Amino acid sequence: MDLAILAALNAERAARRPAILVTAMEGGAQRLVKSGEFAADPLADLLDRQLRSGKSALVETGGASYFLTVQAPHPRIVVTGAVHISQAMAPMARLLDLDLVIIDPRTAFATPERFPDVTLLTEWPDAALAGLGLDGYTALVALTHDPKIDDPGLEAALRSECFYVGALGSRKTHGRRVERLAAAGFDEAAIARIHAPIGLDIGAVSPAEIALSILGEIVATLRGPRRPPA
Amino acid sequence: MISTDTDILSLAEAWTRAGRGVALATVVETWGSAPRPVGSHLVIDGDGNFQGSVSGGCVEGAVVEEAAEVIGDGKARMLEFGVADDAAWKVGLSCGGRIRVYVEKVN
């Protein structure tokens, strides 16, 4: 492996950008395919499939075999609201190997007792999100019902490449949210990125069930549609 | 603590920049109950120092030996280990799985 290729792979990882190293098993020729170059690559379909799975793999195509070293940033969920639903979400996210960050400036809600072993940021979303850097491997979930806390998070998410944006609230609540976002300058397509009502429609009632429906929707968005077996 | 496979890639870069001869071993295929998943890395230097794992300890010794050759002649090699290959390799995987490991020089 060329040191320059290895260094570039490491740099992409440090920047939380996806990249795939393609190694031809015959002859050992290598190339690094970076974010934005996947669609134009001769192996585009295979790269897309592996990127979604997040796993390295040996693939065969056109009579040749290639090893794909897949480097996908670790997916994470950023939640505004240290509420009952996010309490239920914390252990579930851990089981799913999804990083979780909870933002809530209300220190009565955001306590280590209520959220053991969770990254808690007791700042306003504007300040907290500036430090986190939302990217294409981040999901933003707004759970407070309070526009003062949720809206700045949603606005930051809509300006970013977040793979998932969801907001809790009834259709009426969301209607008012849409009006506020439109007034803030977001167009229809941008606002349509918000999953609302949030979560898969499984008839969720309890906080844990709502957390499950949200996480189900996030995993479905992350992994993409089911493909028929090859 | 060097633990993840991505840390191993950073280490491979650092060792190479420090002027050490370096080989990178990668699990490219597994069958049965292999101890480490596809994509797992082991980095080896010219003195036989290594970090990471491709099998959880069963075949690292053989990979390190082969890596010395790879560092010496610069040619990548594909190694295969498993219970079915006892004739070809003196070491095997006690778990009954089989793995293929690609070893390449970093330069």
User: Does residue A47 sit in helix, strand or coil?
Assistant: helix
Of A32, A49, A71, the position where a domain reaches its end is: A71
CB B54 within 8 A of CB B27: yes
* Cis before A197? omega within 30: yes
pLDDT of residue A73: 85
Which of A69, A97, A99 best probes binding to B when mutated, by most B CB atoms within 10 angstroms? A69
Task: Say yes or no: A184 and A102 in one domain.
Answer: yes
Q: Which of A1, A3, A69 sits opposite B39 (nearest CB)?
A: A69
* Shared-domain flag, residues A24 and A89: no
**Segments forming the whole domain that contains residue A100:** 76-223
pLDDT for the residue numbered A225: 66
State the nearest Cα–Cα gap between A45 and chain B, in angstroms: 20
pLDDT at residue A172 above 70?
Answer: yes
pLDDT band at A166; cut points 50, 70, 90: very high
Q: How many domains does chain B have?
A: 1
pLDDT band at B87 (very low <50, low <70, confident <90, very high): very low
Which residues neighbour A2 within 8 Å (Cβ) at sequence distance 6 or greater?
A30, B106, B107
Residues A118 and A17 in one domain: no
pLDDT of residue B90: 53
- A84/A196 same-domain check: yes
Which residue of B lies nearest to A30 if distances are taken between CA atoms?
B104
Instruction: Examine the pLDDT at B76 and tell me if it is beyond 80.
Output: yes
| A contact test, residue of B3, B4, B6 with most A CBs within 10 A | B6
B107 vs A19: CA distance, rounded Å: 20
**Token digits of residue A9:** 């792979």
pLDDT higher than 60, residue A229: no
Chain B CA closest to residue A29? B76
Q: Token pair for residue B26?
A: 């990668």
Beta pairing, strands A30-34 & A19-24: antiparallel
CB contact under 8 A, A23 and B102: yes
Domain end, chosen from A30, A52, A71, is at A71
Task: Looking at the structure, tell me whether residues A88 and A122 fall in a common domain.
Answer: yes
pLDDT score at B1: 35
Statement to judge: residues A104 and A136 lie in one domain: yes
Beta strands, E only, chain A:
19-24, 30-34, 57-61, 64-71, 76-80, 99-103, 119-121, 138-142, 164-167, 194-195
pLDDT (tens digit per residue) in A101-121 = 999 999 999 999 999 999 999
Highest mean pLDDT among A192-206, A214-228, B22-36, B79-93: A192-206
Indicate whether A104 and A142 sit together in one domain.
Answer: yes
ipTM of the complex: 0.84
Tokens of B86: 């006892």
Which candidate, B101, B86, B107, places its Cα nearest to that of B25? B101
- Residues of chain A contacting B39 with CB distance shorter than 8 Å: 55-57, 69-70
A interface test, pick of B28, B70, B75 with most A CB neighbours within 10 Å: B28
- The pLDDT score that the predictor gives to residue B91 is 57
Across all residues in chain A, what is the average pLDDT?
Answer: 93
Radius of gyration over alpha carbons of chain B, in Å?
13
Its domain, for residue B99, covers 5-106
Q: Do A52 and A114 fall within a single domain?
A: no
**What's the rounded mean pLDDT across residues B76-91?**
68
Question: Tokens 């709502």 sit at which residue?
Answer: A210
* Same domain, residue pair A158 and A82: yes
Mean predicted confidence (pLDDT) in B77-81? 93
Assess if residue A230 is contained within a domain: no
Structure confidence at residue A77 (pLDDT): 97
In angstroms, what separates the C-alpha of B7 from chain A's closest C-alpha? 9
A9 phi/psi in degrees, rounded to 5: -60, -45
Partner residues linked to A30 by β-bridges = A23
Least confident of A57-66, B41-50, B85-94: B85-94
Q: What are the pLDDT digits (tens) for B22-33?
A: 999 999 999 887
